[in-house]
Structure 1
Amino acid sequence: MTEPTSPQGADVHVPPPLVYAAPLVAAWAVDRLLPWRMPGKHWRTGAGWVLVVAGQAVAAAGASSFRRRHTPIVPGRPASTMVTTGPYMYTRNPMYLGMTVAYVGGSLVLGTWWAPLALPAVVAFIDRNVIRREEAYLRSRFGDEYEEFSRHTRRWV
C-alpha cells in the first residue's frame, strides 16, 4: 500500500506526543470511574519514574540530533537532511521509542491497568499513521540514501 506523501513533509495529521498523552489522560479518567489498580505502589512508582525519565532522554536525544542537523522535528515540515547520527545509529525512530518507554513508565506511575491496555493501540496508530507516512516521505525525498539507512537500522530497536 502506498502511503500519502506531501512535498511539505510527511502527511501526518496528529502531533505524535498527543497520541501518547491522550490515552494516559483517558486511562486516568476511566480509572476514577472504574478503578483497576496495579499492586506494589512503591516499587511501581519508582520504576515508572525511571522509565519516564529514560524515555524522555531517548526522545530528547533524537530531537537534539534533528536540531544539530537543522532539520524540523515536526513531521509535516520538509526534511532538509537525513539524520543518521546519535540514537539514529540504533533506531530509525528514537523519538517514538522514547515516548513509548515514557508511556510505559507513565502507566506504572498512574498505577492503573487501563493505561497499558491501550498501549498496543497507541503503538499501532503511531506505526500506521505516523511512521509509515514519514518513511514514505523520506523514501520519496531521499531515495537510495533512505533505503540504505533502512536496510541497516531497525525501525524500533
Structure 2
Amino acid sequence: MKLTWLELKLPPVLLVIILMVVMTLVKTLDLSLFEFARQTEVGGILAGFGLVVIAAGVMQFDQAKTTVNPVKPNETSRVVSTGIYSITRNPMYLGMLFVLTGWCVYIGIIANLAFLVVFVLYMVQFQIKPEEKILRQMFGEEYDEYVTRVRRWI
C-alpha cells in the first residue's frame, strides 16, 4: 500500500516536536534507563550542534533567496550547493536528527533510540524523496550532478 498522502504533509519541525513528546512520555513507562557521567551535557551538546546545523542550512537558503518551507519544495528558486550544502543535501533534517539524538541522550531511555530510526525512515520516505523528485523535475541535470557529489545525510 502506497502512503503517498503522507508526502510533504507533516512539517518536519512538527514531527520532531511530536517525537520529543513521545520520548518524554515513554520515560514514564520506567523502561531501561541508560546513565553516564555528563549525560545532560552530552545531550545538550548534541542538541546544540543540531541547532547550529539547522541555522546554517536556513542561512544558506536565505542568502540564496529560496524557500525554506519543507511542504512546498516546488517554490524553490535554485539548487543551493555551497556552504553546509556541500557537505549534506539535508542539513536542516540532519540538524533535527541531532536535536532528537540529544533529547534521547538527555531522557536516557534505550527504547527511545527507535524513534531516531523512525525519524530517519519517515523523513527519507515522505519528505526527502518527494522533495528530490520535485527538484529533479525543476532543475534536471544541475540537480542530478549535485546529488552525485553530495550525500543525502552525511
Is TM > 0.5 for Structure 1 vs Structure 2?
Answer: yes
Q: TM-score, normalised by structure 1?
A: 0.88
How far apart are 1:120 and its partner, in Å? 0.8
- Counterparts of 1:58-73 in structure 2 under 5 Å? 58-73=53-68
Q: Report the Cα distance in structure 1 between the residues aligned to 2:103 and 2:83, rounded to whole angstroms.
A: 25
Q: TM-score, normalised by structure 2?
A: 0.89
Which of 100, 105, 123 pairs up with 1:103?
Answer: 100
- Counterparts of 1:141-152 in structure 2 under 5 Å? 141-152=138-149
- Counterparts of 1:33-112 in structure 2 under 5 Å? 33-40=29-36, 42-77=37-72, 78-112=75-109
Deviation string for 1:24-80 (max 9, x for gaps)? 21121122134432222x411111100000011011100110011111101233101
| Percentage of identical aligned residues | 33
Secondary structure of 1:101 counterpart: helix
Structure 1 vs Structure 2 CA RMSD: 1.7
Q: In structure 1, what residue type is equivalent to 2:11?
A: P
Correspondence 1:15 to 2:11 = yes
Q: Report the Cα distance in structure 2 between the residues aligned to 1:32 and 1:112, rounded to whole angstroms.
A: 10
More divergent stretch after superposition (20-29 vs 45-54):
20-29
Q: In structure 2, what residue type is equivalent to 1:59?
A: I
How far apart are 1:105 and its partner, in Å? 0.7
Deviation string for 1:71-93 (max 9, x for gaps)? 11012331011111110011111
Unaligned runs of 5+ in 1: 5-10
Q: 1:8 corresponds to which residue?
A: none
